[in-house]
């Protein structure tokens, strides 16, 4: 029987590749996006809708903006905290942490899985032990999987197939799967095109360069197809 999987799906490079990856694996997939008041919500959710439509995948967007007051001062959900420019360093990375975001997203996904007969929830965490985000690390993914086995009368699963991968590995997988990478959204800055300068844009550009894949993302003026010039 085909596995039925809910994919936690932001419309970004990683989760879009994950959606394609699970479909290619033969899973019956549905996509879950969450509006948690993120600064880049308009572009991110538009990208997610476009990709889900293109695939003909059921896509739900849950409004969790009521959670903003619980996330403290961070640049994603607090309009008074600017998105830092430049490559990630520990202090600027800390400003982009939405506390415990992935557990919240997985919990919602598991509720949908439990209520709809799905077997698993997948999320696109990557970076292995090297990512500075605690809720993207292998130990977190393993703990959430263990919880999924016992959170419902029926054992569920949490899948994190990219957890030990680099972002360049994901770009390579995306190319192999035919993912429309230019239609995915990464930038945290909240503009109409990728700013090219925030930490996540720099990660995106560096991943294309490291993978040796042309970057067709539309960046703000002066940053078109920047290649390795990160
Ligand atoms: Zn950006």
Summarised one tens digit per residue, pLDDT across range 84-112 is 666 666 666 555 666 888 999 999 999 99
Ligand 1 center from residue 211 Cα (angstroms) = 20
Confidence label for 2 from pLDDT (cuts 50, 70 and 90): confident
pLDDT at 198: 84
Ligand 1 center from residue 164 Cα (angstroms) = 24
Domain boundaries, the chain: 4-211
Average pLDDT over residues 177-204: 91
pLDDT at 111: 97
The least confident of 29-43, 76-90, 131-145 is 76-90
Phi, psi of 6, rounded to the nearest 5 degrees: -90, 125
Q: What's the first-to-final CA gap in the chain, in angstroms?
A: 46
Ligand 1 center from residue 196 Cα (angstroms) = 5
Ligand 1 center from residue 149 Cα (angstroms) = 37
Give residue-wise pLDDT tens across range 57-84: 999 999 988 887 777 666 556 666 666 6
Is the pLDDT confidence value at 230 over 60?
A: no
Q: Count of H helices and E strands in the chain? A: 7, 5
Neighbours of ion ligand 1 (CB under 5 A): 187, 189, 195, 198, 201
Buried b (16+ CB within 10 A) or exposed e, 119-131: bbbbbbbbbeeeb
Mean pLDDT of the chain: 87
The least confident of 128-137, 152-161, 218-227 is 218-227
Average pLDDT over residues 118-147: 90
Average pLDDT over residues 29-37: 92
Cα radius of gyration rounded to whole Å, the chain: 17
Ligand 1 center from residue 45 Cα (angstroms) = 16
Which overall architecture, per CATH, does domain 4-211 show? Answer: 3-Layer(aba) Sandwich (3.40)
Give residue-wise pLDDT tens across range 117-130: 999 999 999 986 56
């Amino acid at each position: 029987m085909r596995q039925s999987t809910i994919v936690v799906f932001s419309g970004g490079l990683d989760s879009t590749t994950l959606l394609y990856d699970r479909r290619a694996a033969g899973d019956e997939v549905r996509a879950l996006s969450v509006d948690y008041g993120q600064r880049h919500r308009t572009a991110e959710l538009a990208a997610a809708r476009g990709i889900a439509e293109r695939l003909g995948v059921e896509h739900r967007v849950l409004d969790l903006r009521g959670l903003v007051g619980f996330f403290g001062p961070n640049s994603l959900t607090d309009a008074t905290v600017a998105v830092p420019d430049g490559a990630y360093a520990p202090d600027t990375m800390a400003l982009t942490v939405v506390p415990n975001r992935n557990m919240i997203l997985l919990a919602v996904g598991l509720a949908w899985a439990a209520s709809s007969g799905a077997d698993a929830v997948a999320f696109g965490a990557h970076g292995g032990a090297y990512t500075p985000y605690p809720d993207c690390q292998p130990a977190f993914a393993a703990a959430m999987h263990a919880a999924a086995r016992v959170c419902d009368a029926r054992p569920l699963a949490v899948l994190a197939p990219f957890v030990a991968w680099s972002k360049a590995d994901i770009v390579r997988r995306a190319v192999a799967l035919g993912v429309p990478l230019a239609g995915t959204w990464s930038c945290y800055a909240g503009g109409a095109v990728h700013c090219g300068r925030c930490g996540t844009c720099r990660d995106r550009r560096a991943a294309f360069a490291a993978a040796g894949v042309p970057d067709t993302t539309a960046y703000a003026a002066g940053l078109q197809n920047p290649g390795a010039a990160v």
